[in-house]
Structure 1
Amino acid sequence: MPVISTNLAANAAVSYLNINSQQETSALSKLSSGSRITSASDDAAGLAISTRISSDVTVLQQAATNASQATAILQTADGGASNISDILARMESLASESSSGTTVQSSRAYINSEFSQLISEIDSIASGTRYSGQSLLDGTSSFASGVSVMVGSSGSDTITITLSDLTSSSLGVSSLSVSTQSSAVSALDALSSAVDTVSNARAQIGAQESRFNFASSSISTQTQNLQAANSAIKDVDIASEQATLSSAEVKTQAAVSAETAANQMPQYLLKLLG
């Protein structure tokens, strides 16, 4: 029935105006942020899953950096080991020259001088091959016993870097001499063993580097897939949300017009009293 003390039509119009305005605000918020979930109430479960995925992606991105650094360490170590291998090859050549009966004794003194310098250079390279201030090939750093590198989102996702001691004493060449024919002959056997040791060390370095390369590829794939999954959960559907916004805008305008009309109804009723 028509009344003037309580404007029920206006109250209803205001109620729907508030609902439509809230829908319009929500749609604008989602469109401007690009996210389907702007508050926990939008999708509590989706927010929890998205937060977990975002955390995993962040950890994986750091894991990718870890793997890259580990690869750089191994490449640095391999470079030093390669130089040591070249030195041993030169030392073998000198020992072979000194062991030959065609070499006069006076020449052996010059050969042995270079030979001794090369032994010192092996130690110089072993200690001078460094990464972040740590010598990689002289057995003094933590890499000698093994260093775990995180390459995943779990604490168990690790790869251990282990580097061999390639000093002259470790290779068994520190006390070698080619000053005589007999010592040169003995040196050849020791140098052959040292070359094998360095080759094995480089093979281990290469194997570890290969593993880190595959780990990096796996991390990249995981990160890409998780970001895609997170997008499906969190990112707003622009077309759908724009349609919601347009609908809410029309409803809001209609509610404003209805509110205006409802506010005029009591005035119309007053005319009946006249």
Structure 2
Amino acid sequence: MPAISTNIAANSAVRYLNINSNQETSSLSKLSSGSRITAASDDAAGLAISTRISSDITTLQQAATNVAQATSILQTADGGASNISDILARMKSLASESDSGTTTDSSRAYIQSEFKQLIGEVDSIASGTRYSGTSLLDGSSTTFTAGVNVMVGSSSSDTIKITLSNLSSSSLAITSLDVSTQTGATAALTALDTAIDTVSKARADIGAQESRFNFSADSISTQTQNLQSANSAIKDVDIAAEQAKLSSAEVKTQAAVSAETAANQMPQYLLKLLG
């Protein structure tokens, strides 16, 4: 029924104009942000899942950094252990020379002088092999000798323990070795064999731990990539589909504006009936 007191057509046009305008605003927001979910109302469940996945991705990225740091610690420790191993080999060579019956006592004194310096160098390397100011091989850091857990995942249970051996001269039982006599040299050979085995085992343990961290790094990389892909499927906007919605909303908005204009003219047309 035509009326001039209540413009029902205009009210209807305004209602649809608001609906289409909101749709257009929503599409523009999604396209400009690149995200399908710009408000919780867009997809409440999807937002919750995406937030959790994003948290896991951030944690895994930090885990990758943790693994890189752990690998650096192990490489540093292995470098120091390798130097100690070389020194022990030289000490065994000196002990073998001193143990020979063709070596004179005066020569043994010279051999002992170098031998003693090398014992000191073992301790120097053990204490001087540091990471971030912490000695790794002299047993002064109970953190590494007892074992330190490294976070390698998104859960508190995702850890790998780093354990480093004490390779100081006292721990290797070479501090009191003396090759100034043939008897002492004979005893030193046995002790040095044990020390060399100890260092070799320590290096093998370091290598095994480093190998595990390398595989962990690959796993973290794969998990991160998969989670990013899953998060993209949930959160990222489909540009083509959203652009189609925007185009439709723009056309409807223009149509609603035209309808509103026409509806506002209707009362004027009705007034002409009174003339």
Question: Which residue does 1:72 correspond to in 2?
Answer: 72
1:176 aligns with 2:187: no
1:163 aligns with 2:159: no
Question: Which residue does 1:201 correspond to in 2?
Answer: 202
Deviates more, 1:72-81 or 1:103-112: 103-112
Cα distance in structure 1, aligned partners of 2:55 and 2:38 = 18
Gaps of 5+ in 1: none
Cα distance in structure 2, aligned partners of 1:17 and 1:92 = 93
Q: How does 1:109-188 map to 2 (within 5 A)?
A: 109-141=109-141, 142-188=143-189
Q: CA offset at residue 91 of structure 1?
A: 0.2
Count of matched residue positions in the alignment of Structure 1 and Structure 2: 274
Cα distance in structure 2, aligned partners of 1:164 and 1:15 = 76
Q: CA offset at residue 181 of structure 1?
A: 1.2
Q: CA offset at residue 233 of structure 1?
A: 0.1
Letter in 1 for 2:168: T
**Deviations 1:78-122 (Å, cap 9, x if unpaired)?**
000000000000001101111111111111111110000000000
Question: Which residue does 1:273 correspond to in 2?
Answer: 274
Q: CA offset at residue 132 of structure 1?
A: 1.2
Question: Which residue does 2:45 correspond to in 1?
Answer: 45
**Deviations 1:51-102 (Å, cap 9, x if unpaired)?**
0000000111111111110000000000000000000000011011111111
Question: Which residue does 1:260 correspond to in 2?
Answer: 261
Question: Which residue does 1:34 correspond to in 2?
Answer: 34
Q: Percent identity?
A: 82
Normalised by the size of structure 2, how large is the TM-score? 0.99
Q: CA offset at residue 255 of structure 1?
A: 0.3
Deviates more, 1:40-49 or 1:95-104: 95-104
Cα distance in structure 1, aligned partners of 2:38 and 2:2 = 43
Cα distance in structure 2, aligned partners of 1:169 and 1:250 = 85
Cα distance in structure 1, aligned partners of 2:30 and 2:184 = 82
Cα distance in structure 2, aligned partners of 1:265 and 1:17 = 18
Cα distance in structure 2, aligned partners of 1:3 and 1:69 = 79
Q: CA offset at residue 140 of structure 1?
A: 1.3
Cα distance in structure 2, aligned partners of 1:140 and 1:102 = 42
Cα distance in structure 1, aligned partners of 2:138 and 2:216 = 27
Q: CA offset at residue 8 of structure 1?
A: 0.6
Cα distance in structure 2, aligned partners of 1:62 and 1:110 = 54
**Deviations 1:180-230 (Å, cap 9, x if unpaired)?**
111111110100110000000000000011111111110110000000000
Q: CA offset at residue 128 of structure 1?
A: 0.7
SS in 1 for 2:42: coil
Cα distance in structure 1, aligned partners of 2:3 and 2:215 = 79
Letter in 2 for 1:17: L
Question: Which residue does 1:230 correspond to in 2?
Answer: 231
Letter in 2 for 1:173: I
Letter in 1 for 2:212: R
Question: Which residue does 1:21 correspond to in 2?
Answer: 21
Letter in 1 for 2:19: I
Question: Which residue does 2:213 correspond to in 1?
Answer: 212
Q: How does 1:233-244 map to 2 (within 5 A)?
A: 233-244=234-245
Cα distance in structure 2, aligned partners of 1:113 and 1:220 = 53
Letter in 2 for 1:121: E
1:2 aligns with 2:5: no
SS in 1 for 2:25: helix
